[in-house]
Structures are given as C-alpha cells and as structure tokens.
Structure 1
Amino acid sequence: MKKIERIEPKVPQIKRKKRVAAYARVSAESDRLTHSLSAQISYYSELIQNNPEWEYAGVYADSFISGTSINKRSEFQRMVADCEAGKIDIILTKSISRFARNTVDLLSTVRHLKVIGVEVRFEKENIRSMSSSGEIMLSILASIAQEEIINYSENVKWAKRKRFEQGLPNAKFCIYGYKWVGDEMIIVPEEAIIVKRIYQDYLSGKSTAEIACELSSQGIITKRGKRWSGSSVNYILQNVHYTGNLILQKYYVENPLTHKLKKNDGELTRYLAENTHEAIIDKNTFDMVQEEFANRKSRCKINASCFTMKIKCPFCGRSYVYYQYKTTSNEYWAHWKKVGICSGSEKINQEDLKRVCAKVLNIEEFNKEVFLKNVDYISVPKRDVLEFHFKNGEIKTEIYRP
C-alpha cells in the first residue's frame, strides 16, 4: 500500500506585492484641467501607496493630448515599455476614454498587456481586463466612446463653420509681421519692414532662396526664431493675410480619429473675410507677386544633362540642379544653382562651365562622353573656383570667370 507523507515548507512563502501604476490624461490646456490632472496624480499616488498589498510603480500622465491616438502620448508609450520590461503588474485608470478613445488602439493595447501578464482596471466602468467578461465589455464601451468623439468632432466643425461665416478665424495663428492683442491682429512695425522688403526683392528679380540667404546672413530670424528658408519666404509671398484679408478653412480634419490636417482644395467651402485687419502689402503689389510666380513657373523647366549629380557643394554635400529660363526674346539661358541655402551657393552659367571643362580636359570643344568618362565630380569650394575630381584620383583646380 502506498504511503504518502506531506512535507510542509520549512520557510513560509512570502506573497509578492503587486506592482501597481496608474495612467492619467487631460486633452485641453486650462487651469481647471491642469488642476484635474494634478488631482488625478495625487489620488492614484495615495490610493496605491495606502494599499498594503501593492507596491507603487508610478503615475504616468499625458497633458493636453488627445485620446484618439496613442502614438503621440509619450507617457503612455513609456508606461507600455515599462510593462514590457516587467516593471508593472496592474494599471489603474479613471475610465476607458482616459485610456484611449480609439477602439482599435484600446483593444490592441489591452490585449497586448494581457498577454504579458499586465491587468488594466477601469475605475468608472468597473472593468478588469483579466476577467472573463472584461474584453466584451471593453469592446462595447470603447465603441460608444469612439462614437462620442465622432459626434463631438461634428459639433466642433459646426461651431467652426459658424465662426467662419462671421469672418472669424478658428484660432490665433502665428504670422510674421503681426501679433495678437486680444482678438485683434496688430502690425509689428519692425517685422512689417521685412515683409515689404521680401515683396520688393522678389519683384526685383531675386529668388526666394536668395532672399532667405540674405535675411539669415544679416541675423534676421523668423517668427519662431529660426533661419529663413526658401519655403518660409515663399509662404509670406503667397499669403493673402498680408493684404488685410483672411481666407478661412484652408485646411480641415478629414478623420477625427487621426487628427490629420488636409489642404482644402475645394472639398469644403472656403471663406474670404475682407478688411479684418490692417494690411502690410497692398492688393496691387500682392497680385503682381502672384503673377511673377506664375511667370517664373512657366519659364522654368528642369532637365537632366551630363552634369546632373556631378556638381557638388563641399559644404553641405548637395548637388547643383539644372534650370532653364526662357527670356522674352525666346533665347534660352542655362545655369547651375545649388538647391537650398548654403554659404557656398553659386550660380554657374552652363556655356561657361562647358568652356572650362574643355580646357581642363584639354580638348577643343566640350564633349559629354569625354567628360563622363574622365570626371567623377566637380566641387565648388568658393566663388569663381571649380575643383575637378577625376576618376583616376587626380584633382585639378580651375579659375572660373563668368
């Protein structure tokens, strides 16, 4: 007959405390909501630390961030990473909407945490993700939360449209040359001078890249304290706001769950509000600039040639790009100009470039086959200097005189 003897453990097992964290979030910036976030942090810190069976693992809090996506919530991402590192057993949160309003994000995150042994407890709905009915209830309530945000988004859109119909912008946007005083756009005199200069320089024939380079070299910075670029100059030259008018609803949010802005190319109504603020640029000057934009675009054509990707800037490593401009006499002029803004940016006339290449290659007339066979690339270290780098390792420097 079998004899079974029970052997009791000599050392009693010590039950490990559950490592408990909390997640809190507010989606708008205000004193009231800031206080709400602080209250949530204090509440959960005290709740966890007062439970003798729990070990405090911290409170993760995202402020002024929407709950429709988890991608931009740094604290949420850090919390999930800590769960994956085995630092957390339980997550407490106020409600489903605080955790995530997007059903897909919510369920995929909760399922992932469940697989790695982390339970999420939703206080308001009294749901525990590890329970048998937890995921079913989460699916139902998360769908409701998502529908709520879609309805809320529609209400916000309606309110915005009403403001647009009254000629009012949706928000106080940042624009060089102006500042907001209450609900009114006021001219900043020193910035307005720069705006006028940009328009005058462009009409005098300068490119947006040249204008940007000059402004930056003189220590003039943008509204956000950065160097000027061709695109930032371009934005000023094509912005109708400088004429004292506003175009409203230029962009819109197509999907309230992604919050991605889309340019309004006629999908929705746009609103022109006239004389909403003092103008810096008169309408005639603005129209002349737009006409010049159109003219330059029609004159400019980009082609590939034997020099494509062969002319390099030694300062930034970028290649020079070929442009062809058609004059009023129907003659074609070609030059090379480095893309972007760089201290080494120089224009090079293509005919002069061919002449210099022929001289360096010791041939009477330029021949692209000979050039491609022998030259690896051309560097432009400074004004009027071309540095030829040959495929055999030889380097020749030639003075370039336009």
Structure 2
Amino acid sequence: MKVCYEYAESHNYTVVGEYIDRAQSGKFDNRAEFQRMIADSDKHTFDGILVYQLDRFARNRYDSAIYKAKLKKNGVRVLSAKENITDDASGILIEGVLESMAEYYSVELAQKIHRGMSINAEKCLSYGNNPGLGFKVNKADRTFYVDEEEAAIVREIFERYASGETKAEIVKDLQRRKVKTSIGNKFTYNSLSRLLKNKRYIGIYLYKGVETPGGMPRILNDDLFYRVQSLMNKNKSAPARTRGENEYLLTTKLFCGHCKEMMVGYGGTGKSGKHYYMCKKARKKKCDKKIIGKQYIEDRVVSECLKMLTYDKIRYIAKRVAEKCIKSPDNISVREIKKAIKEVDAAIENLWEGIEQGQSVDMLTERLHKRQAEKEEL
C-alpha cells in the first residue's frame, strides 16, 4: 500500500479507492474485492488499476489476459508500482514475460509444498495441520508426541460416551469446566463428534485418505475406540425413536366413530403420565366417546396397515417414490453442481469471445478444452 501510494503521488495520480483481498492468493480469480473491482470498471469511475506487482493482479496468464481485456474495454489500464513497464511494443513483451514468470513461480511453489507434504506424510510427520486434542508436534523434527494432560481428557470423553452419556451431556460438562478443543475453541456437538471419530487416537496416521497404522503415538485401545464407533452408529436413529414415543402418529388420521370428529392427543401430564387420543367434541362435552390409549390404537392401526403391505404393494410404493425423487432432485448438492455448470458455461463463452478476437489463441484453446472437460465431469 505504501509503495502504491508513493507511486501514485510521484506520477500525479489521484487514488479514488482501494480493493483489498487480505491473505488471498493471486493464483485464483474468485477473490471478492478483485471481482468487485472488475465490475466497478463498467461504471467508468477510474482510469487505472495500480498494483504493487503484476502478480498481485493475477498469477496465471489466462486470468490476466481475460481480465485485462475487460478492463481495456472499459478504458482502464493496469499499472505496476514496482515494475517499470512502458506502453510501447517492448513494454508488452516485458509484461508477458513477467506474467509468465509469476505463473511459473506460483506453480513451482505449489509443487514444492505438495512434495514436501508428501515426503512428511511418508515419514508420518506433521505437515502443518491441526494434530488434534491430546497430541503435540516436536518443532525440531516435526514428530508427534502425546500431551498426557490433554490425553486424559480424550480418554475421559471416550469412556463417558461408552458408558452411556449423550454427546449433549458431555459437551455441557466440558463447557462448564471450560475445557477447550485443540484449537482453543469451546466444545460443541460437532467438534465432539469429530473427536470421537478421529482414528489418530488408535495410532493411525492419516493423509489424503490414506491410513498408516502405527504412524501416530496411541492414546486409546482399539476396544474402547470401536465400541464408541458402534454406539455412535447405533445412536444415529435414536432421536427419531425417542421423538416417536411422545408424538401422536395418528393426528389428522383418526376420527371418532360416534360423531366423526377428529381424535387428538391427550394426557401425558398427570401422575400416570399416560397418553391417549380423545374426540375433539368429547373435550367440549358434546360427545360421549371415551378416551382411548395411544399405544393400543396406534399398534392396532399399524398392525392392519402391515397386512396391506404385500410384496407387490411395497414394490409399487418404492417405484413411485423413486420416480418422484428423480423428478424432483432439488437438493443442495444438485443445486451446487448446477451453479458450477452455469459458471463453467460463462467461462467457456468468454474463452470463445477471446479466441474470436485473436487473443493468445493457443493458450485460450488449451484452457477451453480444460473447461469443457470440467463441464463434462460436472
């Protein structure tokens, strides 16, 4: 920022605004402020974009060419405070070389980082991620070791869950005691669930979905860990079962045989705590229908329904439900994929426009093929 303002002052430019994407790489174009800057260029409120270096604008030649073309169309130049680039033919050449070098260093750095992470993973060393509660990393050689104080909390959590305590009860107690997660946050239902599934506690090192047994120091024995996994799988459907005990399944479906009025849930608050169905008119003393036990009538109805569910009818219902699902795939994942396809289509259209204008045809054609392959995959 300091260098940019000094450059603007020395060249008699007036700065009318700032677009700052903090801690975001110039490798990608999906930066909020960057995209706002491109959109604002349509308003013709500024004549130039001043960057510290060209790699702050973009780190791949495709993005650089596309967005510079958009800015140029709106009468906006891209200026570099650190790189003295002229407006003549040699300036265009130098700018192209600098952009190529920025992309080269970006790709090379990414390769080095991934290579370093892979080498660390082969040796079961830390590659900079959060080790999890109970583990610490030796800064000298990046090996993992057990923090006994935290490990005791991990063992306590597993033992309490295995003994029948719920996640909600454990979380409430951990919050009361101000016990923190490995990143210093208070425990939540989700963070506790992740902890209970972490295979590192039985000595398994994880990297990109690959498991290395014995790669981590062990905190738990296999018996306790897998007993907890079995309980969690069993408890996945528990909320529905518990809720069913207090819900009146026949609400809006059960009618009084005397006056044809709807039967509604009644009871559960007295000394007996029992649940019944009661005629709505009987509540107002306008019908002499007696209350009927919830469990009794629901069991009778379910029993009669089961007699109707023959193999052929089950197949028929399953087929109709499947057809309905196919016709209405309006779920989150499908919406996200549709949105991604729309974005790729827009990018492909931009590439065709670039090719038609003769902008770096070989490079744009290669990018076009990649985008088309991406669309096919989506």
TM-score by length of 2: 0.54
3-state SS in 2 of match to 1:154: helix
Correspondence for 2:193 among 219, 222, 234? 234
Correspondence for 1:109 among 61, 67, 83? 67
Give the aligned partner of residue 215 of structure 1: 174
Label 1:101 to 1:185 Cα distance change in 2 as closer, same or farther (>3 A). same
**Deviations 1:230-270 (Å, cap 9, x if unpaired)?**
32112111112223x352323xxxxxxxxxxxxx3xxxxx2
Label 1:212 to 1:357 Cα distance change in 2 as closer, same or farther (>3 A). farther
Correspondence for 2:219 among 260, 274, 280? 280
User: Whole-Å Cα distance in 2 between the matches of residues 289 and 240 of structure 1?
Assistant: 12
Q: How much has 1:58 moved relative to structure 2? A: 6.2
Please list, as runs of the form range in 1=range in 2, the aligned pairs for 1:300-319 lying within 5 A after superposition: 300=237
Task: Single out whichever of 224-233 and 199-208 deviates more from structure 2.
Answer: 224-233
User: Whole-Å Cα distance in 1 between the matches of residues 166 and 228 of structure 2?
Assistant: 12
User: Whole-Å Cα distance in 2 between the matches of residues 90 and 134 of structure 1?
Assistant: 17
Label 1:225 to 1:248 Cα distance change in 2 as closer, same or farther (>3 A). closer
**Deviations 1:179-221 (Å, cap 9, x if unpaired)?**
4452454545554333222211221233434433443455544
Task: Single out whichever of 94-103 and 185-194 deviates more from structure 2.
Answer: 185-194
Q: Check if 1:42 corresponds to 2:5.
A: no
User: Whole-Å Cα distance in 2 between the matches of residues 85 and 132 of structure 1?
Assistant: 29
1:105 counterpart letter in structure 2: D
1:280 counterpart letter in structure 2: I
User: Whole-Å Cα distance in 2 between the matches of residues 295 and 355 of structure 1?
Assistant: 23
User: Whole-Å Cα distance in 2 between the matches of residues 104 and 210 of structure 1?
Assistant: 54
1:177 counterpart letter in structure 2: G
Q: How much has 1:61 moved relative to structure 2? A: 5.4
Q: How much has 1:150 moved relative to structure 2? A: 3.5
2:74 counterpart letter in structure 1: I
User: Whole-Å Cα distance in 2 between the matches of residues 61 and 187 of structure 1?
Assistant: 41
Q: Quick check: which one's helix share is greater?
A: 2
Label 1:191 to 1:134 Cα distance change in 2 as closer, same or farther (>3 A). same
Structure 2 unaligned blocks of 5 or more: 284-294, 296-378
| 1:45 and 1:58 in contact (8 A); partners too | no
Q: How much has 1:354 moved relative to structure 2? A: 3.5
Q: Check if 1:335 corresponds to 2:242.
A: yes
- The sequence identity of aligned pairs, in percent, is 24
Q: How much has 1:171 moved relative to structure 2? A: 1.0
Question: What number of residue pairs does the alignment pair up?
Answer: 268
User: Whole-Å Cα distance in 1 between the matches of residues 39 and 186 of structure 2?
Assistant: 37
Give the aligned partner of residue 346 of structure 1: none
User: Whole-Å Cα distance in 2 between the matches of residues 295 and 46 of structure 1?
Assistant: 65
Q: Check if 1:354 corresponds to 2:248.
A: yes
Please list, as runs of the form range in 1=range in 2, the aligned pairs for 1:158-177 lying within 5 A after superposition: 158-177=115-134
User: Whole-Å Cα distance in 2 between the matches of residues 73 and 246 of structure 1?
Assistant: 39
1:67 counterpart letter in structure 2: G
Q: Quick check: which one's strand share is greater?
A: 1
1:161 counterpart letter in structure 2: S
3-state SS in 2 of match to 1:121: strand
User: Whole-Å Cα distance in 2 between the matches of residues 84 and 134 of structure 1?
Assistant: 26
Task: Single out whichever of 163-172 and 209-218 deviates more from structure 2.
Answer: 209-218
Label 1:173 to 1:77 Cα distance change in 2 as closer, same or farther (>3 A). same
Give the aligned partner of residue 48 of structure 2: 90
Label 1:226 to 1:385 Cα distance change in 2 as closer, same or farther (>3 A). farther
User: Whole-Å Cα distance in 2 between the matches of residues 273 and 160 of structure 1?
Assistant: 18
User: Whole-Å Cα distance in 2 between the matches of residues 100 and 70 of structure 1?
Assistant: 7
Label 1:174 to 1:79 Cα distance change in 2 as closer, same or farther (>3 A). farther
Give the aligned partner of residue 331 of structure 1: none
3-state SS in 2 of match to 1:55: coil
Label 1:181 to 1:170 Cα distance change in 2 as closer, same or farther (>3 A). closer
Correspondence for 2:24 among 65, 71, 94? 65
User: Whole-Å Cα distance in 2 between the matches of residues 98 and 77 of structure 1?
Assistant: 13
User: Whole-Å Cα distance in 2 between the matches of residues 165 and 112 of structure 1?
Assistant: 46
| 1:208 and 1:231 in contact (8 A); partners too | no
**Deviations 1:166-187 (Å, cap 9, x if unpaired)?**
2212115252234445245454
Label 1:180 to 1:385 Cα distance change in 2 as closer, same or farther (>3 A). farther
User: Whole-Å Cα distance in 2 between the matches of residues 91 and 197 of structure 1?
Assistant: 57
3-state SS in 1 of match to 2:242: strand
**Deviations 1:103-125 (Å, cap 9, x if unpaired)?**
44323332332233221124648
1:42 counterpart letter in structure 2: K
Please list, as runs of the form range in 1=range in 2, the aligned pairs for 1:146-295 lying within 5 A after superposition: 146=103, 148-180=105-137, 182=139, 183=142, 185=144, 187-216=146-175, 219-243=178-202, 245-250=203-208, 264=209, 270=210, 272=212, 274=214, 276-277=216-217, 279-295=218-234
